[in-house]
Amino acid sequence: MVGRGELTDVAWERIGPLLPRVDGRGRPWRDHRQVVNGVLWRLRTGAPWRDLPERYGPWQTVYERFARWEMDGTWAKLLEHVQVKDDAVGAVEWTVSVDSTINRAHQHAAGAAKGAPAQDELEDPPHPTPGQALGRSRGGLTTKVHLAADGRGLPLAIVVTPGHVNDSTVFDTVLDAMRVPRLSAGRPRRRPETVIADKACASRAIRTGLRRRGIRAVIPERSDQIANRQRRGPVGGRPPAFDAERYKARNVVERCFSRLKQFRAVATRFDKLAARYLAGLRLASLVLWLREP
């Protein structure tokens, strides 16, 4: 019987064969499905690892497997696999919405041991970020999650930064993080057809970069930009093209954040290491992809 929040038989059939296999050396591994369900329980509840129910096995085993598969890229590979399968059948909608959300960091998220690898010091890091992606503001410690979601509201790329980082400075990093390999020969798909973003990304540099890559930009102008252009008269140039009807589709990224934050260990960061928190985000994203029919 499948418990609440655990992987269904259909979902397990999709990812089970991709997990590392036992090589016959050392002690036998605890059942992969049991361990993954234990990780999902902790991700969904936000409880300490030590409070893991006994039905998932020793908490040390579950945590060590979670950390090991973060370091060797297993979680990232699983997410990439489901993206590739959906793209191969044309299910991925390449009208991409980009936005960010600020998540509070629990007090236990601070104080990573000195010498612990920062996200940008890891071997072949997927998305480099400075330090442990913790920033301090009026609300205390925060981490910002930058996300690119496809037209169905499913995550295509995730980047974490300190909470005070401006969205426009990470925009190119988020786009560069989009990479969906093809089942057939050819380079991975990295370029969306359209990018929808809010006024935080309404800079000339971002618009120029998208135009250079052949990507349609749907980004509204800020009021100060409009006033400055009008003040300069004919020298100010024409307003950038903006499709107000298509911009209504930007809410898919907001809905994606809402679904991700159903996992309490995503809505509040408990992990000291940015790499661990990013791994939890990837696993939560994987669940969203597996739920999609």
Task: Look up residue 189 and give its two tokens.
Answer: 């798909």
Is 253 a residue whose pLDDT tops 50? yes
Residues 218/211, Cβ–Cβ less than 8 Å: no
Q: How far apart are the first and last CA of the chain?
A: 21
Q: Which residue has the higher pLDDT, 114 or 108?
A: 108
Helices then strands, counting H and E runs in the chain, come out as: 11, 7
Residue 43 CA to residue 139 CA, distance in Å, equals 23
Residues 275/117, Cβ–Cβ less than 8 Å: yes
pLDDT of residue 123: 37
Which residues, listed in sequence order, are joined to residue 148 by a DSSP beta bridge? 98, 157
Q: How far is CA 135 from CA 30, 54, 129, 146, in A?
A: 37, 35, 12, 14
pLDDT of residue 120: 43
61 alpha-carbon distance from chain centroid: 25
Is 161 a residue whose pLDDT tops 70? yes
